[in-house]
Amino acid sequence: MTSTFLASRNPILFGPGVSARTGAELRALGCKKVLVVFDKGVKAAGIVDRILNSIREAGIETVCYDGVLPDPPDYTIEEAAAIGREANVDGVVAVGGGSSLDTGKGAKVLLTNPPPISRYYLAHEDIRPDTGEMKPIIVIPTTAGTGSEATPGGVITDTKNNCKQNVPCATDLGIVDPELTVGLPAAVTVTTAADALCHAIEAFTSAEHNAISDVLAEKAIELIGANLTRAAENGADAEAREGLQLAATLAGLSIMGPFCNVPHEIGLTLGMIFHMPHGTACAMTLPEALHFLAPVIPDRIARVVRLLGATPPEDAPAEMIGAAARDRIAALYRDIGFPKLSDFVKSKEEVLAAVPAIMEAMPFHFSPRPVTAADVSDILAAAYDR
């Protein structure tokens, strides 16, 4: 089997307590004044102050932007960058969930490239930001979910066209400290970890999976299966937190080449239409998507089931393997209190009305099985009834 694994250019410092080294790492990068990007919730949780203290103790000045919003809108990236340019910062630190990290990445691009951020969308193949003068960025995830510390881009909401866009931006360092996720509310733990579970399973089941991504994805799936229920039940379980945090980073790496397929491709549009958090929207159809894929990749789906701690019957037909995968993940969702599609959408008819928009937005390039509008309708209807 030959295929491409896009080895990440993002160095990562991982381990309990490593966020205390933020200031020293900035000094090593030559920073004297940095823009610190976060949202008000992370600040209220006391996490930002821990990072600010580390930075200031290293003798580095800070300028703060606390306006990060979920599914970061383009204008917030431009606001953050304007503050950084005005203060003449020489680096960026992004602290928080995926939205904060992606806002920081976009701000890094605009510190040294003229706005608007829409100029640099990956979809515009002819325009790339000039990386020559770019200032360094350190990203510090406080959820175990998006794996944004491992991926060379930020996902941004284009508010003019109401769609998600990717902006290329490597990070200079990811500081991944599981201690920062201790005490995270169960609802946030669950929906962000479900995003990581999707990344890993979608990489493993992608038409473009490869030997390297498989190793990363399998370990991530196993870690999430072993630790998610524990962390949801007891947010102070440090071992479970470390397992989930490692899984999120591995899962982020695993999609570097295979990318995501059916659950994310449905979820990105579903989330935009029905205002669902990214992890919730993408994980919503994971059980049904695996049932859909089982006829073409039964052995891979059976492996996922085993990695999640269940055992499909020996020599089971594909339909039975698909049902086992669907039921295993549905049971996990019940255990952890994962939201239901009906929590966000009033009727099945309403959710099915989103199918044309999903088909228009997404090419399903990485699905191992061709995906029709009727298939998406079936997946959504089954998810709604679950």
Q: Does 202 bind Fe ion (CB under 5 A)?
A: no
Q: Give least dist CB 263 to Fe ion, A.
A: 9
> Based on CB atoms, which residue is closest to Fe ion, 260 or 308?
260
Return d(Cα 307, Cα 339) in angstroms, integer.
23
Which residues 6+ apart lie within 8 Å of 20 measured at CB?
A: 50, 54
Q: CA-CA distances (angstroms) from residue 162 to 5, 71, 101?
A: 31, 11, 20
> Based on CB atoms, which residue is closest to Fe ion, 55 or 255?
255
> How is residue 90 written in tokens?
């020489």
> Based on CB atoms, which residue is closest to Fe ion, 149 or 195?
195
Convert residues 145-184 into a mask of x (bound to Fe ion by CB under 5 A) and - (unbound).
----------------------------------------
Q: Give least dist CB 279 to Fe ion, A.
A: 7
> Based on CB atoms, which residue is closest to Fe ion, 172 or 195?
195
Q: Give least dist CB 254 to Fe ion, A.
A: 12
> Based on CB atoms, which residue is closest to Fe ion, 22 or 191?
191
Q: Give least dist CB 195 to Fe ion, A.
A: 4
> Based on CB atoms, which residue is closest to Fe ion, 73 or 263?
263
Choose the binding region for Fe ion from 132-140, 177-185, 189-197, 321-329 (rule: CB under 5 A): 189-197
Q: Give least dist CB 151 to Fe ion, A.
A: 10
What is the number of the residue whose Cβ is closest to Fe ion?
A: 195
Q: Give least dist CB 282 to Fe ion, A.
A: 5
Under rule CB under 5 A, how many of the chain's residues touch Fe ion? 1
* Contact by Cβ (8 Å): 38, 200: no
Q: Give least dist CB 262 to Fe ion, A.
A: 13
Choose the binding region for Fe ion from 80-88, 194-202, 331-339, 372-380 (rule: CB under 5 A): 194-202
> Based on CB atoms, which residue is closest to Fe ion, 74 or 195?
195
> Based on CB atoms, which residue is closest to Fe ion, 20 or 163?
163
CB atoms near residue 165 (< 10 Å):
20
Return d(Cα 262, Cα 378) in angstroms, integer.
13
Q: 201-221: string of b/e by CB count within 10 Å (b at 16+)?
A: bbbbbbbbbbebbbebbbbbb
Choose the binding region for Fe ion from 116-124, 134-142, 191-199, 205-213 (rule: CB under 5 A): 191-199
Q: Does 102 bind Fe ion (CB under 5 A)?
A: no
Return d(Cα 108, Cα 212) in angstroms, integer.
30
Q: Does 195 bind Fe ion (CB under 5 A)?
A: yes
> Based on CB atoms, which residue is closest to Fe ion, 113 or 245?
245
Choose the binding region for Fe ion from 79-87, 129-137, 162-170, 192-200 (rule: CB under 5 A): 192-200
Q: Give least dist CB 382 to Fe ion, A.
A: 21
Among residues 253, 205, 251, the alpha carbon closest in space to that of 228 is found at 251
Return d(Cα 47, Cα 143) in angstroms, integer.
11
> Based on CB atoms, which residue is closest to Fe ion, 137 or 260?
260
Q: Which amino acid is at 213?
A: S
Return d(Cα 75, Cα 301) in angstroms, integer.
41
Q: Give least dist CB 54 to Fe ion, A.
A: 28
Choose the binding region for Fe ion from 55-63, 107-115, 162-170, 188-196 (rule: CB under 5 A): 188-196
Q: Give least dist CB 278 to Fe ion, A.
A: 6
Residues near Fe ion, by CB under 5 A: 195
